[in-house]
Amino acid sequence: MHWDSTGGKTVAINLGDTEQEAAWRQEVRQFIEREAPAALRSGAEPEGALFGRLGAIKEWRDRVAARGWIAPSWPTKYGGAGMSVVDQFVMNEEFAEAGVPSNVGGFGVMMIGPTLIEHGKEEQKEQHLGSILRGETLWCQGYSEPGAGSDLASLQTRAVRDGDDYVLNGQKIWTTGAQFADWMYMLARTDPDAPKHRGITYLLVDMKSPGITVRPLTTLAGMQSFNEVFFEDVRVPARNRIGEENRGWYVGTTTLDFERSSIGSAIGVRKALEGLMRQAKSGRGEASFARSHGVRNEFADRWIECEVAKMLSYRVVSMQARGLIPNYEASICKMYSSELNQRIAGLSMHLYGMHGNVRNRSAVSYLQAVSATIAGGTTEVQKGIIATRGLGLPRG
């Protein structure tokens, strides 16, 4: 698959696999067919069976690890697969098509691992990378604060140097998985007098440290996936700092070699749409709204939009394969897929009419979709990036 352009104006697309890519795709498919637990395959999950899948997810993780595919983009010297951008894309695409988890390594593999490889000291790599690959430690991200979400550089959690330690005081919020995490990678302000993008330091914090309080937050869907975290005189050894003091912003925003194409999201929304289509065709009474002209048109619109989302993902990975760094292109992917996720959730409600308010899966999906345009950078932030960096418009 290739995306060639000259000066960002003339674009030609070849959507076919090369011979090497086709062979690799077949290898991944055969691995999934042989090794993926039945409970994880597309269409295999009965409603309400999520917690019953946990054992299957563990089994799947072990099988992926046995192939060395837990950290596809990590260098082999650190236990990764050393895959090219395109090889990782193909693997993620096939995993998403089959409905099996692709990011079984969590934040450890996707975020902090690449950061340690890029900026960490050898002793830090030795301490953490192996345990991440073995699934022995869970990580969470301490970035957002009540007054510093989209404008992250305004964060106020303080880290004051005291001998061989930093002393942390402050609060983080929207911290996914903090109630289960062993470690947090975080940004804290170490120089309050510096300009806001400076004076920030990147720290690794043991979540068992005295003075840390984790308070789960309940979402509209009744789930507790993220938390607020409070720090009261928490001592963090200075050896847990990544990079230089007051230069943490640049560590935290480093362009890392991990999946940015949103291919999993693009295929995920299409799979959700296919599930709705199966339900609409089943003829069950509660899906009677599927026969309405308006809902049928919605299905057609959403299907076209799913194909657009996939093409946007192809554009990003094609840029990466040519050594380019997607910027506003990745923002387009994120914004489009997250808004499409919400439109498909809305279609689910339209399909069932008022019955959708009490039907568990439709109602939960609809409520969960609210956060899609907030998590990972709000739609407003993405539009700003697209406008200024993509269209060259002046900052407002």
| Section 183-187 average pLDDT | 97
Percentage of the chain beyond pLDDT 90 is 56
Note if 286 is an active site residue: no
2-103 has which CATH code? 1.10.540.10
Residue tagged 């339209």 (tokens): 350
Greater pLDDT, 222 or 228: 228
DSSP string, 186-204: EEEES-TTS-TTSSEEEEE
In 99-183, which ranges are continuous DSSP H helix? Answer: 106-107, 113-119, 122-133
Q: What are the distances in angstroms from CA 231 to CA 169, 188, 251, 389?
A: 5, 11, 22, 36
Enumerate residues 6+ apart whose C-beta is below 8 A from 157: 142, 145, 168, 169, 170, 171, 172, 186, 187, 188, 189, 231
Class for the domain spanning 139-252: mainly beta
Which of 93, 259, 298, 329 does the annotation list as catalytic? 259
Query: Tokens 């291919």 identify what position?
Result: 263
Region 119-148 average pLDDT? 94
Nearest to 33 by CA among 22, 24, 41: 41
CA dist 28 to 60, 81, 94, 102, 228, Å? Answer: 14, 14, 7, 12, 39
- In the chain, what are the domain boundaries? 2-103, 139-252, 263-390
**Rg over CA atoms, the chain:** 22
Mean residue pLDDT across the chain: 86
- Please choose, from the candidates 330, 320, 313, the residue with its C-alpha nearest in 3D space to the C-alpha of residue 376: 330
Q: What is the pTM of this model?
A: 0.85
Predicted pLDDT of residue 293: 77
Instruction: Output the CATH code of domain 263-390.
Output: 1.20.140.10
- pLDDT, residue 290, reads 62
pLDDT of residue 296: 87
- 378 against 121, higher pLDDT: 121
Residue 229 has pLDDT above 90, yes or no: yes
- Would you say residue 32 has pLDDT above 60? yes
Nearest-angstrom CA–CA distance, 369 and 373: 8
